[in-house]
Structure 1
Amino acid sequence: MTTPPRPPKQVAQIAPEAYRVPKPPAWIRVARPIAAALTTLPTPLRRLIGGRQIEVDGQALHPEIQTVVRLLNAVPGPDFTGKSLADGRATLDLESSIFGGEPLPADLETIAIPTAEGSINARLYRPPGTRPAGLVVFFHGGGWVLGSLDSHDTTCSFLANKAGVCVMSVDYRLAPEHRFPAGVDDAVAAFRFAVEHAADLGIDPAAIAVAGDSAGGNLSAVVAQVTATTGEQQPALQVLIVPVTDLSAKRQSYQYFRDGFFLTEAHMDWYREHYLTDADQALDPRVSPLLADDVSGVPPAYIAVAGFDPLRDEGIAYARKLEDAGVPTTLRVQAELIHPFTAALLSAACRAATEEIAVAIRAGLAHAAVPGSVKRRSTR
């Protein structure tokens, strides 16, 4: 008789020194201090490079961001939409490695999350030297097409350190290889896994949030809506950072910021074409959470939008929709910044805005936690 195979451990800890993000190429290690220097140039030199201060719709672009944007726009050659998928994904990872800076210290674990289609990976960040106040299930941005665990390594380590929480970054399936609803299914599965295995992770199951930037903010909003309709445990907090909330329409911020501020209208069109199989899917609330009929049962929200972002107005609209439905909602408009500011932590302005998010996470999860409920089970 054949002995059935042993099931894999659902939570497998790896020694921190044995599992690190790959060391970036030498040119990136050189580019980081150069990029950092651009954000701290003397005012006369910054004005020379960045030009006259940009003001749009009553907002003034932050001078250090304007300098970087001006130089990025001057780089010759196609952006990721003119490259192969592999090259486009590599481009985003490299840009994130440069402008995100060095990750903060964290104890890392790798996690295999079972799904209906097999399994996906996640990377768990534990803040060093402190008992975590909760867990953030984090979904990276990249238009459901780009992005990876590595592209958002600095962001996740920053949030883990500054909020004093564990962050579980989810490697959900990407389009066009896996179009909608694959990413949604993976996001919901990841949150359910976190709830079911909270004791294994040493986390209070009542203190689990969802968070993400851009497409990841979209997935976070969708997880919040799905769990509200099924009657299962919901996130204690949804943190939506420069989120996509409506792929069916373009609001006035698309007209103001369609080009020149990193995320462009052309990028969003490209993402939409790769993510959806037909245009009508944009009307599905799992694609466009702003279109949901009833959001009254979703968890409290912290929504951060950037002033110079095509997605600004739909993020604000979603915050207003939640407020009108009686959902406790904090809307923070970072009027001087661009999309996605949480990925540009070399900038002092972007770091400060991201630290605001960390403070909100800590406060939200501390409020949700049940005293004395955390007892981590051994996974060995």
Structure 2
Amino acid sequence: MKPDYDTLIDPATWAFIRATDAAYPPDTATLSIADQRAIYDRMCRAFHRGYPPGVTANDRPFGGVPCRHYPGSDATVIYFHGGGFVVGGLHSHDDICAEIRATCGFHVVSVDYRLCPEHPHPAAFHDALAATRAISATLSHPILLVGDSAGGNLAAATAHATRGEALGVAGQILIYPGLGGNKDTGSYLTHATAPMLTRDDVLFYASIRHAGTEPAPDPSFVPLCDHDFNGLPPTLAIAAECDPLADDASTYAARIIAAGGKAHAVTEPGLVHGYLRARHSVPRAKASFARITAAITAFAAGEWPYGDRS
């Protein structure tokens, strides 16, 4: 049965969707890559809320990867931005990172990984690894891996690849991540035509990422295909209810729990893909952002705020 988005999505979120569509039309994925990036950057700038008082930033490389560092203390958040591995960069999630810095007080480093199609997989993954290792060697421990959408994929892939390394990773927070779930079942079908992101969009960006030739099952590409979920850091996986990617978060958390690890999944009711940009205008998004920063703070302190493992 097709979801009734008029009922599921509240008026504040609909206003956010309309504002986004006005700046980033739903057919943008059919345009050239250069046009997509320009439109996405303008849209993100339209939602940019500036820096909270006392927050500064400087651009510097880590591990040869361009990054933006928001200086803090005590711990370090490594942030991987969303954008389908095609759009986005240091500017698109600038104010989000600044607000994480202001709320948690920690160092925040946003990673400007290489984008597709110019740099197909595994370029972004290699950048994520190089930056994470260099940041861990330079800034305060513990380390928190955080990412939204495509960035959630990179955060998880990095966590899988660096198990056993002494990087000080204390947790990962994955925000409406695309982790490689079955695109022919569950939320991929139920929310195939959701506002903000459709199943067709997911397939389009996936095809660009692997340059037309899908690689063999590889957790650096799709973390859900890993056969080993042992040894992963405490995880919060957050989904937007009205999103074809929604099931990936809960499926991933369940695999960590089944392996004896700590994971907690949240599906945010009535929210849509990309809702971080609505954290100042939509109460549900504001509450979710508070959940994210609370998890970052708790994981950095070695705390597990969710009772038992789940």
TM-score with structure 2 length normalisation? 0.89
Distance 1:182 1:268 in 2: 19
Q: One-letter code of the match for 1:364?
A: F
Say if 1:250 and 1:241 are closer, same or farther in 2 by CA, change over 3 A: farther
Q: Which residue of 2 aligns with 1:112?
A: 61
Q: One-letter code of the match for 1:193?
A: A
Q: One-letter code of the match for 2:188?
A: Y
Q: One-letter code of the match for 1:109?
A: N
Residue pair 2:181, 2:247 contacting (<8 A) in 1 also? no
**How do residues 68-107 of structure 1 correspond to structure 2 at under 5 angstroms?**
68-70=16-18, 79-105=27-53, 106-107=55-56
Q: One-letter code of the match for 2:117?
A: P
**How do residues 28-177 of structure 1 correspond to structure 2 at under 5 angstroms?**
54-55=6-7, 60-70=8-18, 79-105=27-53, 106-114=55-63, 119-126=64-71, 132-177=73-118
Distance 2:94 2:196 in 1: 20
Say if 1:317 and 1:236 are closer, same or farther in 2 by CA, change over 3 A: same
Q: Which residue of 2 aligns with 1:24?
A: none
**How do residues 22-33 of structure 1 correspond to structure 2 at under 5 angstroms?**
none
Q: Which residue of 1 aligns with 2:130?
A: 189
Unaligned 5+ segments in structure 2 are 304-310
1:351 aligned onto 2:293: no
Structure 2 counterpart of 1:273, from 207, 213, 218: 207
Residues matched between the structures, number:
298
Equivalent pairs: percent with the same residue? 32
1:244 aligned onto 2:178: yes
- C-alpha displacement of 1:137: 0.7
Distance 2:51 2:78 in 1: 18
- C-alpha displacement of 1:99: 2.8
TM-score with structure 1 length normalisation? 0.73
Q: One-letter code of the match for 1:86?
A: A
| Secondary structure of the corresponding residue to residue 215 of structure 2 | helix
Residue pair 1:141, 1:215 contacting (<8 A) in 2 also? yes
Q: One-letter code of the match for 1:160?
A: R
Q: One-letter code of the match for 2:239?
A: V
Say if 1:282 and 1:242 are closer, same or farther in 2 by CA, change over 3 A: farther
Q: One-letter code of the match for 1:271?
A: Y
Residue pair 1:247, 1:287 contacting (<8 A) in 2 also? no
Unaligned 5+ segments in structure 1 are 1-51, 369-380
CA RMSD, 1 decimal: 2.2
- C-alpha displacement of 1:299: 0.8
Q: Which residue of 1 aligns with 2:307?
A: none
| Secondary structure of the corresponding residue to residue 332 of structure 1 | strand
| Secondary structure of the corresponding residue to residue 88 of structure 1 | helix
Say if 1:96 and 1:233 are closer, same or farther in 2 by CA, change over 3 A: same
- C-alpha displacement of 1:215: 0.4
- C-alpha displacement of 1:346: 3.1
Residue pair 1:139, 1:212 contacting (<8 A) in 2 also? yes
